Amino acid sequence: MGRELTWHDALFGYTIGQDDATFDTRDSSAFAPLAAVADPAFTWGNDRRPARPWHETLIYELHVKGFTQRMPDVPDRIRGTYAGIGSAAALDHLKKLNVTAVELLPAHYRVGDRQLMEKGLSNYWGYNTLGFFAPDPRFSTNPRDPNAAVREFKSMVRSLHAAGIEVILDVVYNHTAEGNQMGPTLSLRGLDNASYYFLSPESQRHYMDFTGCGNSPNMRHPRVLQLVMDSLRYWVEDMHVDGFRFDLAPTLARELAEVDKLGSFFDIIHQDPVLSRVKLIAEPWDIGPGGYMVGSFPVGWTEWNGEYRDAVRGFWSGKDVPTSLLAHRLTGSGDLYERTGRRPYASINFVTCHDGFTLRDLVSYEQKHNLANGEENRDGHNDNRNWNCGVEGPSDDPKVNARRARQRRNMFATLLLSQGVPMILGGDELGQTHRGNNNAYCQENGLTWLDWDAADRDFLTFARAVAQIWRNQPVL
């Protein structure tokens, strides 16, 4: 990216403050984001993909900035950047935890939401993509140099590979930063709105929205499929990443309004000589009709197993979880994956992820505390299957704190010792808290940056020990 977007009313196709059927004819070029041609030259040396088999994979989900922004042994200049992840201190932490793959929250170029910026907040997680080929410059040591982000991303990948760690990108092809008819005109909408997006059959001015984010790309159109496939190949061939986690993946399989398990997207992925060989992870749900697809993706795909999360949380928080159901979850969820010919490693097991409570908060809060997000606590999940161990929030009661520590150990050990592929939320091993905020997507501050100085050293030691057991005895 050569120039960041500057918010201005001229970016919108209608007159702000009036009906969206109006038309704004002003030139927006002074405010629009601009692309830049980057120099692809890079010395990869003897870089090789670790090519870890799934049954030997331990995933660590992290945010590029939040992971090292406060890490004390990382030089100040590179904290919160791609270079920070490739630093000796960061790599040492990952290796001691036996991590074999990092899953990066979106690193594609994203646009910050105007309404969040006006509240003094930020789209921190980054699920608002505009540039599918550009690494986000905010994670570069020199955001004004278009080449720096590309160069430093590649350096990060090379360093992780040298440490035996794969790089998986969380990618957002299910919607774009242009939003619905009230959103800005920045790219695809201005090029060919009717081809790039699902439009409402009743009103071509409005959008079909399967994600809750305003629009959904029209995967029936060959140019839209080409855009996605070219982007994926770029990140594999030029940037050397090892796989992808597809946000709200059922949206990509919607040939019409319904999810088509044999959709063009799946077909073209399986036939592609490059992409069929990398790690493919689906978030197997969206908010459209038939959008909950846990256990329904084709052979070659793994899935975030929401059923595993719910069962393990429910069991340890004292909910009524049938023994037979828990047994399925601990042994690879054969009831979900075996009927499609997939092995236990099709299940990406997790108890916590970026979306929801941290592990520490899961045992410290029963209610969400999201007022800082500016939505009067309406946002975030309400069904969290959690238990505060008798006290809401921080406690000085030694018995409560001992119970919470035991519960964290219970869930972490269950995760690492179940059949399937375990995924750890970055910071859980440190005892990270978001103070009860279970939707911290807009908090780009000390609430979400990992607090290394306040790390729970006893739990970190425990986490490393359990991860070593996992490594010594991988479960097929």
Q: What is the pLDDT of residues 266-310, one digit of tens each?
A: 888 989 999 999 999 999 998 888 889 999 898 899 999 999 999
Active-site residue 451, yes or no?
no
The two most distant CA atoms of the chain are separated, in Å, by 66
Catalytic residue among 136, 178, 247, 361: 247
Residue 262 above 60 pLDDT?
Answer: no
Residue 139 contacts residue 80 (beta carbons within 8 Å): yes
Residues 22 and 246: their CA atoms lie apart, in Å, by 36
Q: What is the pLDDT of residues 415-444, one digit of tens each?
A: 999 999 999 999 999 999 999 999 999 999
**With contact defined as beta carbons under 8 Å apart, do 175 and 108 qualify?**
no
| Residue 43 DSSP one-character state | -
CATH 3.40.50.300 for the 49-472 domain, yes or no: no
Q: Which residues contact 436 (CB under 8 A, 6 or more apart)?
A: 357, 361, 364, 365, 367, 368, 369, 370, 393
- The b/e string for 201-219 (b: 16+ C-beta within 10 A; e otherwise) is eeeeeebbbbbebbbbbbb
Q: Chain-wide mean pLDDT for the chain?
A: 94
Tokens of 119: 């509240």
Structural domain spans, the chain: 1-34, 49-472
- The answer to whether residues 408 and 414 touch, using CB atoms and an 8 Å cutoff, is no
> What pLDDT, in 10s, does the model give residues 60-72?
999 999 999 999 9
Of 242, 283, 286, 307, which is the active-site residue? 283
Q: How confident is the model at residue 258 (pLDDT cuts 50, 70, 90)?
A: low
Give me the mean pLDDT over the 218-242 stretch: 96
* Kind of pairing between the strands at 129-135 and 108-110: antiparallel
Is 283 a residue of the active site?
Answer: yes
* pLDDT tens digits, 378-394: 999 999 999 999 999 99
Model's pTM, two decimal places? 0.97
456 band by pLDDT with thresholds 50, 70 and 90: very high
